[in-house]
A and B are shown apart, each in its own frame.
Chain A
Amino acid sequence: GAVVSQHPSWVICKSGTSVKIECRSLDFQATTMFWYRQFPKQSLMLMATSNEGSKATYEQGVEKDKFLINHASLTLSTLTVTSAHPEDSSFYICSAIRQEQFFGPGTRLTVL
């Protein structure tokens, strides 16, 4: 069964609004989670590493103030896309490691 869940599965929002995506590890604790973004027909691009109890580590070119990450507990990390714009429309996928890397089902964000 699934070991990582994401919510919501898809979201449509207006430009300028903020969207929060949740990533949960099921039945295990994950001190580290990862957030990826995937544009159509492209591969997964690592955005940031979410660390429980400390600040996230962002990849080069990813705006910290735009993509807010909060790893509040050992089973939950959230990604908030602030002031979303149409170019932020993408497939956002989180993952956590339990012996191997498991991915959540992804969240498809469409910004109108």
Chain B
Amino acid sequence: GQNIDQPTEMTATEGAIVQINCTYQTSGFNGLFWYQQHAGEAPTFLSYNVLDGLEEKGRFSSFLSRSKGYSYLLLKELQMKDSASYLCAVRDGETGGFKTIFGAGTRLFVKA
């Protein structure tokens, strides 16, 4: 089976750093994704990790530990526009490698 856990909500201050954690259990693993979703819109791709370690892309970084079934998304220099839901998603490696299952998402509120 598959299970993805992430906090429901988080609040942070503009200019600060926030870390959103994600733990997962899957029968197969073929990569972990982070997406950003604003209300009423489709998700947009942020990052992809398939090997252990940290991937940095501008203000966003994503970390993966496959042995621990753990990932986090790090957002630096928070801006008001970063208020959104952040979805952790895992690609199942047992079904041809393309089936992606999403966590419930973490709603981030950035305050001034």
Contact = CB atoms under 8 A, between A and B. Distances in A.
Interface of A: 32, 34, 36, 41-46, 49, 91, 93, 95, 97, 100-106, 108
Of A45, A102, A103, chain B has the most CB atoms within 10 Å of the CB of A103
The number of chain B residues touching the other chain, given as a range, is 10 to 19
B48 A103 contact: no
Contacts of A104: 42
A95 B98 CA distance: 11
Nearest to B101: A46
B99 A100 contact: no
18 contacts: A41-B107, A42-B104, A42-B105, A43-B102, A44-B43, A45-B102, A46-B100, A46-B101, A46-B102, A49-B98, A93-B42, A100-B45, A100-B48, A101-B100, A103-B42, A103-B43, A103-B44, A106-B41
B103 to A, nearest CB: 6
Nearest to B105: A43
B33 interface: yes
Contacts of A45: 102
Contacts of B44: 103
A91 B41 CA distance: 9
A20 B59 CA distance: 40
